[in-house]
Structure 1
Amino acid sequence: MHITTADFIDYFKSVTEMIEKEKDYLCELDRKLGDGDHGVTMSIGWQAVNQKLNNELANESDCGKVSSTIGMTFLNAVGSSVGPLYATGFLRGGKVASQKSELTDRDLEEYWIAFINGVKERGQAKVGDKTMIDTLEPALIVLQANAGGTRNFAEVFSEAVIEAEKGMKSTTNLISKIGRSSRLGERSLGVQDPGATSAYLILAAFLDFIKIKTLA
Structure 2
Amino acid sequence: MSENAVRRLIAMFEAISAAVETEKDHLSELDGAIGDADHGTTMSLGFLAVKAELAKIDVDRAQPADVMATAAGAFLNAVGASTGPLYATAFRRAAQALAGANDLDLGTTAAMIDAIGSGIRERGKGQRGDKTMLDAWLPAADAAGAALTDNKASTEFWSEVVAAAEAGANATRSMVAAKGRAARVRERSLGHVDPGAASAVVVLRAMASVLS
TM-score, scaled relative to structure 1: 0.89
Deviations 1:4-53 (A, max 9, x none): 21111111111111111111011111111111100111111111111112
Q: Distance in 1 between matches of 2:58 and 2:198?
A: 28
Q: Distance in 2 between matches of 1:61 and 1:18?
A: 25
Alpha-carbon spacing, 1:170–1:149, altered in 2? closer, same or farther (3 Å)? closer
Deviations 1:104-154 (A, max 9, x none): 221112111122111111112112111011111211222233556633344
CA contact (8 A) 1:13 1:53 kept: no
Q: Distance in 2 between matches of 1:49 and 1:151?
A: 31
The 4+ residue runs of structure 1 with deviation greater than 6 A are: none
Of the two structures, which has the highest relative contact order with CA contacts closer than 8 Å and spacing of 6 or more? 2
Match in the other structure for 1:170: 171
Q: Distance in 1 between matches of 2:63 and 2:150?
A: 25
Match in the other structure for 1:8: 9
Match in the other structure for 2:205: 204
Match in the other structure for 2:25: 24
Taking only aligned residues, the RMSD between alpha carbons, in angstroms, comes to 1.9
Q: Distance in 1 between matches of 2:71 and 2:153?
A: 27
Alpha-carbon spacing, 1:58–1:51, altered in 2? closer, same or farther (3 Å)? farther
Map 1:1-216 onto structure 2 (within 5 A).
4-56=5-57, 61-146=62-147, 150-211=151-212
Alpha-carbon spacing, 1:148–1:95, altered in 2? closer, same or farther (3 Å)? farther
Deviations 1:135-179 (A, max 9, x none): 112112222335566333442232121111011011111111112
Q: Secondary structure at the match of 2:192?
A: coil
Segments of 5+ residues of structure 1 without an aligned counterpart are: 212-216
Match in the other structure for 1:214: none
Alpha-carbon spacing, 1:193–1:57, altered in 2? closer, same or farther (3 Å)? farther
TM-score, scaled relative to structure 2: 0.91
| Aligned residue type for 2:12 | Y
Compute the displacement of 1:60 (Å): 5.1
Q: Distance in 2 between matches of 1:146 and 1:159?
A: 7
Q: Secondary structure at the match of 1:4?
A: helix
Q: Secondary structure at the match of 1:103?
A: coil
Sequence identity percentage: 37
CA contact (8 A) 2:27 2:199 kept: yes
Segments of 5+ residues of structure 2 without an aligned counterpart are: none
Q: Distance in 1 between matches of 2:135 and 2:103?
A: 30
